[in-house]
Amino acid sequence: MITDLPLPPDVGLTWRAAVEADVPAIVALQDACFAVDATYREAESEILDRFDDPGIDATSDSLLGIDASGSVRVSVWSIVPGTAATKWRAFEEWHIHPELRTDPVLEFALAWWEARSRQRLVQLDDSLPKVLWFSAYAHRTELITWLEGHGYVVERYYDELIRDLSVPVPDVELPPGVHLVPTESARSGDELAVHNEAFRDHWGSQPFTQERWDHFKNEFYLPDASYVAYAGETPVGHVMSGKWPHDFEDRGFSHAWILSLGVVRPHRKRGLASALVARAMHDFVSDGMEYAMLDVDSENPTGAYGLYEGLGFVRSRRTVALLKPA
């Protein structure tokens, strides 16, 4: 363990960095947390992906608390994307077993994540602000209040929207002069370029590198429901989709996600975004999905919220972004 990080409490746990062999035990911890918190849990392959994530070095950016039986009871990760345009951000990924949510464990987990994240952020360009970014589901009011007591401020709300696909999906025409190309057939780099440009004016968004974008498109990516929109030869929008079959049982229905939707400024307000979403939803229906889902910034400056409501989406649940200067 890095010496200038806080010392762990004496609660009968062994503390060390995560290794790939820990993945099944981390999944078991997430299962125990899900049963109480009703939040989410990952597939083993998603956790395994962290060991290849360009924003994580598991040997120094992860911490597990393991009990005498070998069960993982605490899992904390510091994630720092390697690019920034307006601010550097450190994200958390943490799970603490419901039986161990005592002050010593909670305080240590937060202190360790903050300290490790600051160690990483201090090495980056000082011309940009640096923030610690903690996400919490809005129904976890005790956690949010606890974080506010530690200096975090609620900065933004993100809504999870859902759309029943048994209701017919409208056919939305593309704007004149625009055509769609399946992402896998688009020119190399066009999807990422249009995404970064489209999200340039979105609160909190920072550009992706090609390496991180490729990592983001993991095994759950749906190439058959992902497109790049072109006006002539110029990329002007895109939609990227995915689905997590292991989540169907938890939700009680099959569903696919619109993971990213972006249209560059000169082509907004012309119906392109609606056409991209509708095209993806038609593909979801063809794939046998019962619902379409997506996340949206509740204060999105492009009017996306109204667009989604117009296509039949309704709010399912909400997450909160809590920020603190690093």
CATH numeric code, 14-128: 3.40.630.30
Beta bridge partners of 132: 90, 324
Q: Where does 160-318 sit in CATH, by number?
A: 3.40.630.30
DSSP state of 252: T
Could you report the per-residue pLDDT of 108-163, keeping only the tens digit for each?
999 999 999 999 999 888 888 999 999 999 999 999 999 999 999 999 999 999 99
Which sign, positive or negative, has the C-alpha torsion 307, 312, 315, 321?
Answer: negative
Q: Do domains 14-128 and 160-318 have the same CATH topology?
A: yes
pLDDT tens digits, residue range 214-270?
A: 888 888 999 999 999 999 999 999 999 999 999 999 999 999 999 999 999 999 999
Judged on CB neighbours under 10 Å (0-12, 13-18, 19+), 57 is: middle
**H-helix or E-strand containing 134?**
strand 130-137
Q: What share of the chain is helix, strand, coil (3-state, %, to 5)?
A: 35, 30, 35
Domain locations in the chain? 14-128, 160-318
- The structure's pTM equals 0.92
Tokens of 261: 């939707």
